[in-house]
Structure 1
Amino acid sequence: MSKADLIRSTRFRKERETDWLRLEELVARAERDGLQRMDFAEARDLAALYRQATSSLAIAREISLDQALLNYLEALTARAYLSVYAPQERLGGLFSKFFSQSAPQAIRRSWLFIAIGFLSMGLGVLVGYQLYLENPAWYQVFMPAELASGRGPSSTTEELRQVIYNNSPSTSGLGAFATTLFSHNTRIAIFIFGLGVFLCAPAIVLTFYNGLILGAFYALHVEHGLGVDVGGWLSIHGVTEISAICIACGGGLQLGTAVLFPGNKTRKQALYHAGRDAAKLALVAAVMLIAAAFLEGFMRQLVQDVAVRYTLGWGIGLCWLAWFILGGKARS
């Protein structure tokens, strides 16, 4: 740099450095405390000084001032831009927005994919139920040993009834059982959601298989005259749990559909676009599975009356449905 350029750069800095230092101070405060805690005058100065700094940067580039000054102004204006224009939402606000708006809106936009998930589950239940009635040996084919817990075609009616109406459960045992079930259900939902990206079929098949398990399990109890009883036993947690699995399936199907039918976008773009709603569906499913684990591990055994079980399970289901239908509707 020539002596003339150095003098020009020094003069340029000297004329504007006070404003830059003030902007740097305001940016540091906005980064530390958030824009919401600044008073009106400071927020106004921050915006005005940011515009001045961007103008100074443009001039500095035009007259080719020294690189150190350019680097300083570029870093300062980038920080100021984020302070002025970046979302100022805090973590609590993000959670609140997710539950009040983003999640139910994503559910409504994805209703067709979720409906396919429920259809896959329902067909699985029907097929599993019919296959068991034709040949009880199918029960051992469908039902994983850890979920059967010793129950099967060889169980007596009294043995099955004792499980449904165990009115003296161990609190610690229930806690351990809830943990096991939550782990199992979470794995299933993750597999269904994650496998959906592979052209949809694995998510549909796995959801259908879960329906087979449920259908065979229900048929076992119907055969012993306990259909109404096991329906109430399952309703407490099953309405929430099955809905969560179907919603996870819907999220996976969205990803798979984006890969299969990207339309005018590239597959990467289509997958990115579909992933925004699909990820929200996965989070909703996770929240519902947490609730289902609590209901399955505690409320199912603590509530013994069949009518109360049905009321509790389907009442909670209606609450989920109301959230999905009404949540965030005013700002859709």
Structure 2
Amino acid sequence: MMNLQPKQIGEEKIPAIGQGCMGIGGRFTIDRSRDAEQIAALKLGIDLGMTFIDTAEGYGGGHSEELVGEAVAGIREYVFLASKVSPNHLSVELLTLACEDSLRRLKTDRLDLYQVHWPNPAIPLEETLGGLLRLREQGKIRHIGVSNFSLPELRRTRSILGSTPLFSVQTEYNLFERGPEEGIIPWCAKEGVLFIAYSPLDQGRVVGSEAVRLRLVKLARDVGCTPSQLALAFLRSQGPVLPIPKALSEEHIRENAGASEIVLPSGIRSQMDAECRVEVKLVPWHHIRPAPDKTGDHAVYTTIEEARANLAGHSPSPQDLAMEIVRNDRIKPIRVTPISEGNGVFQYDLAEGRIRFWAWVLAFDGERDVPVLVRD
């Protein structure tokens, strides 16, 4: 196996690039059509030194964990294995059952890292962290992490954990979504916490803005690497950041692993910092079409009344998230795309963040504009 310039977090050595598993085994439901290809992709990534693997019980209805278990069979001791518990399983009893189910699917007796996938305001954080501490005492998990937590939630988590370290924070971070640079990544650097960047290549787009993409291509040519490698190298340069791209083709897997060898010249890094940036816009909520085709992986609400009623049973509900938004006065920006035909009142289609969108609307009774990132 290659050694990808590991980062030191506490007593752990973490490779410079890891492997994400969203879409491995399906997205939100099981898909077995590409099992052999996906197992082979994970194994190649491990051989190339990307030995940090991040999955979740919610990926592919649990099938992602099964495939990861197949990929690490016989080499478990060389792999840093991370998984995540879904927000509807954060009570002590359900958390314990969820962890045991993940261990069974992964065919292992312990997780190196167990993370809260999303906060759930309906369940006390003290209860969830207490359950994680118990799992740690039992030897079922080695480290505790969280995902998609705000900075106030991170501070509260550290306070509740007391002398037990918070090992990691995971959230989306790429050249399109650079919000974590404003507070969370500096906090991680100060506190000695690993920052795990999911969707570091913006789900294969590298960056969702054509203007920024063109600048990135030129800079990559100057450095002598691909735009994807340059993007990953930039993210790594920002602090204790571990990007976890997902790839299936051999070309892309090798490309991702090769990004660990790139050291950015200070001038290029400064240029990227200034030029590869997409500003958050504020848009009136009624200018955003929430469900253009009324389809998607989750049930989609089209009116405030539907979101408030939460008949699809999302957990946490839009109303729960709205209460949290009011407390923190912050939300991860919604993704939107422009409507080319300029259809009446609507100017944008909601592309990602459907529950967060309605949570923001409910939090401020529609009186505050929604923070969005506009994808070309």
TM-score between the two structures when normalised by the length of structure 1 = 0.20
Name the structure with the higher helix share: 1
TM-score between the two structures when normalised by the length of structure 2 = 0.18
Name the structure with the higher strand share: 2
